[in-house]
Structure 1
């Protein structure tokens, strides 16, 4: 076995693959997956960061199998032909931060509307702030795909990356820019190992024990392997979670492979922020004066969150590598000039791939970005090949030349010729240009030194899973109280006065009231109440999971219950009862609002939904206020008192922020607000400001909201931005009014 591949440290397993192929870009991957599914006989496992029922499962040419092209329709018709087939879909139970990028209500379209042979699971078995980022497709445990591509929208493209490709549109008909990604396909023992990994991920999220039963040969007949009889290493990242131990093989393999580079390192990656990888590159560049590093990445980060969390990290990454390598390193993006008649405008290819090629002996394809979270916070899976023969070295070099040529608009043969002539990988990247395609330098400018950018980076790109207590204790106060120096001095004076009062109380403690309970007795009783509450929640959760209660989660059933009360004098009571029950089991409040508006119409529906939201929020707030005080105080001591005081002073803004950007379920936010001793007036007003506009919009627009979120236009984004600005202004104005009233009455 290679000294680079050390099971338990740099890799999980090294397994034999009779065939291995690298599928470049979405058209090749989707076509191969479609062919493999058509040959499936027993099981299909799909494990992803995202899965979308509307994905067009097609290659460069329209399919000729007579089945629908969309993912959901294709699977439905495939199961009619092959009813014995079982399909398992596992999707990360994603953060609401990514809701605008996802299909609305995936459980509805990937579970409730699919045939019974399809089982769907939302994977929430990762720590807070982490994600399930592996992208695996396994067919009959005999063929497996792994890499950077999910079966989702806005991923399809050909290797030509034509800027005017009419087929590169999303389900709403909106075009998107050229997109580049890579997947590896393997069979044999290597596929069985990936099948075990996919089944284990499924079992973590859904229960059971993973068992692998390979069957048949679903390898697509149109795919020629790039490697035969090759050893494939599998490296993972797994954050510590419950019984799962931390695994950092992805990071270790990056460091160890870079340390063996001699002449060239070629990298394609969406994010580059890892200080560990940057240091490894810099160290090797200093050790080997002849070493060149060519890095291909997106020109910029599209989303607001990515710009605030990944740009600063990439600037640091690049400065570290540039300082060590000087003119021997490049950070480039694939630019594309549009055809004549387009006013000389240009676009660029979105780089989503995670590729590393070292010299002529090492190839790596996977899901792991070169950011911090891929090293220790998310789940990842990378495949690597270390060449053991001249044939394998030639295959690795040709794949690298093909990738570089794709971005420069030339063939792999032209890249090889230019390399032979110039003898420098970075010089070739600087000079090659064809068909309007070339590689251009990335300029990220200066780092964003704003407080929000620094705090957001810590949350969005952690090297290890976030710890809620530390996150709340360090970041929340800074977010809540960041402002002018005048406000800071005012808050400092208040803290001094409060500390003086606390010192006096410590010097002269009050004895317990006659006949009252001691502190230990109160804490013991509170602990008993909390234990009983937790036991009740567990029992309710088990009943919800293993009885018919969960059947009521179907929107049609909820609508039927409400329709039974339509026109009756007790209709409001039914709606409020459903909201209260939904709050008790953390059922999505949005579905309840939509169902209410659909049954009772926009105006009555809005009033009934408002009453239901208020009742559910009030009940959970009261429970948190009554039973959620002593436990955090006992765990955190005075830190909890200080944090609670800060929440009280900025309670309204905090509640509005949590309503506008709900980072946790509706019921959990209500419980936490009560436990945090937020004033009732702040909680009520913050809920009204935070949820009011959204509740009105949902009630009035109904299911059109989903279409707006899925396919926003520039005008809709502008209106949304104005609403958010007004929203924030209203929240701070209300906070100021409430604070002044509080000062006058104190």
Structure 2
């Protein structure tokens, strides 16, 4: 019997009146899946995905927060038995070699440096450079400041898709037994890690095609490259895998921060609110983080409306790192305090799963993002119940809103499966207990527990960390992307100007001043001063002014250092400081142009394919910007640098930008900068010898001239684009 007190036609009519899914509010799309199955823990997911990849014929698109070639990509037995290597990178390499017509695209978040110690160093080496040409890796940096790409999606032949909380990375693999002594649960270094729990959803049909559309949009946004969906629809569902749902509607909910190739999208946040508002008997949640007070307040409101409602929260025992202690753990305490203060905490339990006996008992790391409401809604995704998952990071959740008795049985079965894993009860017994008692807590207490498996109370206390760490919390768990212009607004605010223009002016001024100050500091107070001191330079290079080969030597120095990405601005200042404004200005101009032309020629010789394979798909963004605007684009990039000097040169040559356009644009863009930097270089050396007010005014004037030229050209370009 349904927990809604009705079944069959009556229940269907009730649900129609109170439908949860609302496209354009809490879901992006609602699409049909012929089959759907919840995959619990990485051993099951990796096993099913591995077999599915072997059946792929045209395309594989993997989107991840992390992708690691060293991942043990194996099933419950802990080893590979299909003739392919157990490590993910080697598996993909062999698969791509045997299927040269299969295009494999890997889209990996270009992660923050804070995660560098947890990630594979230089992932492009094993996943692009060390693999066949039909494997392509793109590091996706198209998120605002402070945001991350947190979606975990795999789409095969646009016909079969997986989405949830599991990345194809290390320290994720585990079986549902969570055996504390499992010898296969070790990381890439052979070190054991604690039991790990997570959930993924597997779907096919139109719902899988919709996820394919989302993944291709992500690729297009990151790589400026259009991917076509598989030409022929394939039936990739393994007949040996029993689906939990058939011919079911799948709701796809997303979080997309503003500026990520489109407007802000907060479907996931709204789906949490609307799902909670429909709960009658119970809400079951598994989640790594619980910090979003908006969700806590939604729970409070519904618990007050429904005296019989019970809420079970399954989470990690604690957050261990210092940063998580000050942010996510403190946020979880506030989350629970909101429930206590409202007087509804007696119907809320915050528990963690534990396995083993006695001294061998250990807590299970909960990484899953699952929500089950009565027997009506099953939700599996990537979104944590934290602020950043609601509006800062990219997220993707899949949800099933039960419309038939069979679907309600599927939702109830999913709850029994998860609860049984944690507390040791048989899923069949738990399903029966849930139907009879219509109480989540009662069903837990009635089930027969297996030895060594239980849910224990989480004891966080009631006092968050010091409020002095509020700024750290705001950065680690922001509700929306960190806007640099907003953080600087209280420092400098010019009425009538946009935040973007203020930030640009501040950034350019600060960067130039810091550069000059740092250069002076190095010359005066570090061992470099004995080599870079003006007197030493004049003594070393002074005789070169009379050398007939002086110009050639300088030009060769520019060309040689250009291939090592040495900052050309430093060379210009040193040249002017050494040779004076004249002929330093001439030498700097000839050297800069020679370096630009030499690296352009190198790019032309290497070719677009080699450069793209080396640097990655993001090179397309630079080539597109140059190719569409020709001379103006090149001049703008030179005057207002948006990419490294060497990279622009190589891309322009590799993508065969016309030589005359490249040369003229480079000259027009470099000339003002060379002039200004040459004046700076000449006066900086003079200032170090004998500083004066006139020298200081000259430097400030040169800075103002450079900034003015940059803004002037940019405004002309923007005006020309509007008229175009």
Larger Rg: 2
Partner of 2:418: 403
Give the whole-Å Cα distance in 1 for the aligned partners of 2:121 and 2:427: 41
Which deviations, in whole Å up to 9, do the C-alpha atoms of 1:255-301 show, x marking residues without a partner?
A: 01110100100000001111111111111001111100000000011
Partner of 1:14: 30
**Would the alpha carbon gap of residues 584 and 453 (structure 1) be closer, same or farther in structure 2, given more than 3 Å must change?**
farther
Partner of 1:300: 318
Give the whole-Å Cα distance in 2 for the aligned partners of 1:555 and 1:444: 48
Give the whole-Å Cα distance in 2 for the aligned partners of 1:244 and 1:309: 29
1:455, 1:475 within 8 Å by CA — same for their partners in 2? no
Which deviations, in whole Å up to 9, do the C-alpha atoms of 1:438-458 show, x marking residues without a partner?
A: 111111124444355211110
1:54, 1:171 within 8 Å by CA — same for their partners in 2? yes
Once the 2 structures are TM-superposed, how far is the Cα of residue 436 of structure 1 from its aligned partner?
1.0
**Aligned residue among 179, 192, 196 for 1:179:** 196
Write the mapping of 1:265-344 to structure 2, written as runs, cut at 5 A: 265-322=283-340, 323-338=342-357, 344=359
Partner of 1:146: 163
Give the whole-Å Cα distance in 1 for the aligned partners of 2:240 and 2:701: 63
**Structure 1: unaligned runs, 5 residues or longer:** 477-535, 557-581, 588-617, 635-746
2:128, 2:613 within 8 Å by CA — same for their partners in 1? no
1:26, 1:149 within 8 Å by CA — same for their partners in 2? yes
Once the 2 structures are TM-superposed, how far is the Cα of residue 628 of structure 1 from its aligned partner?
11
Q: Does 1:194 align with 2:211?
A: yes
**Would the alpha carbon gap of residues 375 and 64 (structure 1) be closer, same or farther in structure 2, given more than 3 Å must change?**
same
Give the whole-Å Cα distance in 2 for the aligned partners of 1:447 and 1:359: 32
2:180, 2:360 within 8 Å by CA — same for their partners in 1? no
Which deviations, in whole Å up to 9, do the C-alpha atoms of 1:79-128 show, x marking residues without a partner?
A: 22211111000000000111121111111121111111101000000101
Matched residue SS, 1:434: coil
Partner of 2:59: 43
Write the mapping of 1:341-356 to structure 2, written as runs, cut at 5 A: 344-356=359-371
Give the whole-Å Cα distance in 2 for the aligned partners of 1:34 and 1:190: 21
Give the whole-Å Cα distance in 2 for the aligned partners of 1:475 and 1:181: 44
Which deviations, in whole Å up to 9, do the C-alpha atoms of 1:589-637 show, x marking residues without a partner?
A: xxxxxxxxxxxxxxxxxxxxxxxxxxxxx99xx9xx9899769999xxx
Partner of 2:559: none
1:311, 1:447 within 8 Å by CA — same for their partners in 2? no
Partner of 1:731: none
Give the whole-Å Cα distance in 1 for the aligned partners of 2:701 and 2:127: 38
**Would the alpha carbon gap of residues 12 and 552 (structure 1) be closer, same or farther in structure 2, given more than 3 Å must change?**
closer
**Would the alpha carbon gap of residues 319 and 428 (structure 1) be closer, same or farther in structure 2, given more than 3 Å must change?**
farther
Partner of 1:122: 139
Give the whole-Å Cα distance in 2 for the aligned partners of 1:181 and 1:121: 26
Once the 2 structures are TM-superposed, how far is the Cα of residue 14 of structure 1 from its aligned partner?
0.4
Q: Does 1:468 align with 2:449?
A: no
* Number of residue pairs the alignment of both structures matches: 509
Partner of 2:390: 375
Give the whole-Å Cα distance in 1 for the aligned partners of 2:602 and 2:28: 34
Which deviations, in whole Å up to 9, do the C-alpha atoms of 1:292-343 show, x marking residues without a partner?
A: 00000000113222222111111111121343423211011012234xxxx6
Give the whole-Å Cα distance in 2 for the aligned partners of 1:544 and 1:92: 32
**Would the alpha carbon gap of residues 238 and 163 (structure 1) be closer, same or farther in structure 2, given more than 3 Å must change?**
same
Once the 2 structures are TM-superposed, how far is the Cα of residue 470 of structure 1 from its aligned partner?
2.9
Give the whole-Å Cα distance in 2 for the aligned partners of 1:12 and 1:397: 25
Which deviations, in whole Å up to 9, do the C-alpha atoms of 1:126-163 show, x marking residues without a partner?
A: 10100001100000000000000000011111111111
**Would the alpha carbon gap of residues 57 and 544 (structure 1) be closer, same or farther in structure 2, given more than 3 Å must change?**
farther
Q: Does 1:456 align with 2:475?
A: no
2:334, 2:464 within 8 Å by CA — same for their partners in 1? no
Partner of 1:725: none
Partner of 2:233: 215
Partner of 1:360: 375
**Aligned residue among 268, 281, 285 for 1:263:** 281
Once the 2 structures are TM-superposed, how far is the Cα of residue 586 of structure 1 from its aligned partner?
9.1
Once the 2 structures are TM-superposed, how far is the Cα of residue 222 of structure 1 from its aligned partner?
3.4
Give the whole-Å Cα distance in 2 for the aligned partners of 1:472 and 1:422: 57
**Which piece of structure 1 moves more, 439-448 or 184-193?**
439-448
Give the whole-Å Cα distance in 2 for the aligned partners of 1:632 and 1:166: 63
2:178, 2:196 within 8 Å by CA — same for their partners in 1? yes
Write the mapping of 1:306-705 to structure 2, written as runs, cut at 5 A: 306-322=324-340, 323-338=342-357, 344-419=359-434, 423-429=438-444, 433-450=449-466, 453-471=469-487, 548=606
Matched residue SS, 1:222: coil
Once the 2 structures are TM-superposed, how far is the Cα of residue 402 of structure 1 from its aligned partner?
1.0
Q: Does 1:65 align with 2:82?
A: yes
Partner of 2:91: 74
Matched residue SS, 1:201: helix
Once the 2 structures are TM-superposed, how far is the Cα of residue 404 of structure 1 from its aligned partner?
0.6
Which TM-score applies when normalising by structure 2?
0.66
Once the 2 structures are TM-superposed, how far is the Cα of residue 552 of structure 1 from its aligned partner?
8.3
Once the 2 structures are TM-superposed, how far is the Cα of residue 186 of structure 1 from its aligned partner?
0.5
1:237, 1:376 within 8 Å by CA — same for their partners in 2? yes
**Aligned residue among 33, 55, 58 for 2:49:** 33
Which deviations, in whole Å up to 9, do the C-alpha atoms of 1:684-729 show, x marking residues without a partner?
A: xxxxxxxxxxxxxxxxxxxxxxxxxxxxxxxxxxxxxxxxxxxxxx
Once the 2 structures are TM-superposed, how far is the Cα of residue 3 of structure 1 from its aligned partner?
3.4
2:287, 2:368 within 8 Å by CA — same for their partners in 1? yes
1:329, 1:426 within 8 Å by CA — same for their partners in 2? no
Which deviations, in whole Å up to 9, do the C-alpha atoms of 1:383-440 show, x marking residues without a partner?
A: 1111111111111101101101101122212323554676531344467642211111
**Would the alpha carbon gap of residues 329 and 115 (structure 1) be closer, same or farther in structure 2, given more than 3 Å must change?**
same
**Structure 2: unaligned runs, 5 residues or longer:** 1-15, 493-592, 616-642, 649-679, 685-698, 709-724
Partner of 2:21: 5
Which TM-score applies when normalising by structure 1?
0.64
